[in-house]
Amino acid sequence: MIDGLKLTMTGEELRGRLQERVARHRSLVAYYEREAKRQPDPNDECGSTLSEDMCEFEQVQHAGRATVLEYIRDHIEGGEVYRLGAADVAFGETLPETPAVVEEEEYERKVAQQEEVEHAS
C-alpha cells in the first residue's frame, strides 16, 4: 500500500523539469528587467507600466528561486528513481505550469472569499 499520492520520476526527468522551471524564472527576471526600463506609451490609454520597485522585487524573487532550483537540479542523481510527495512536488515546482487565466481565477476566488469572511465579521 502507498501512503498518499506520490510521483515517481527518474533523476534525469526530474533534472529536466527543474531546468524548465529555472529557465522560466530566468525569463521572468529578464522580463522584469525590461519592464523596469519601459516607458508608458502616450498613445495607449491602457498602456501602464509597473513601478521600478515592484520590478526589482520580482527580479530578486525570481532570480533567487532560479538559484535554489539550480542547486537542487545539480544535486539530483541522474541514474536514480525519486518518489516525490506533495511537498516535494510543490517545492521543486515539478508540475506543469498553471495557465495564467486559471491562476487569475483562483486569485479572484480567494479574494472574494476573504471579503465574504471580512463582511461576515
Distance CA 87, CA 3 (A): 14
| Residues 40, 38, 70: CA angle, nearest 5 degrees | 140
98: left (phi over 0), alpha (psi -120 to 50) or beta: beta
Place of cell 522560466: 24
Q: Is the pLDDT of residue 9 over 90?
A: yes
pLDDT tier for residue 47 given thresholds of 50, 70 and 90? low
pLDDT tens for residues 95-113?
888 787 877 888 788 888 8
Q: What is the pTM of this model?
A: 0.76
pLDDT, greater one: 45 or 30: 30
Contact 14, 94 (CB under 8 A): yes
Closest C-alpha to 66, from 32, 37, 108: 32
Q: Is the pLDDT of residue 44 over 70?
A: no
Strand partners of residue 84: 7
The predicted pLDDT at position 93 comes to 93
| Residues 28, 72, 74: CA angle, nearest 5 degrees | 100
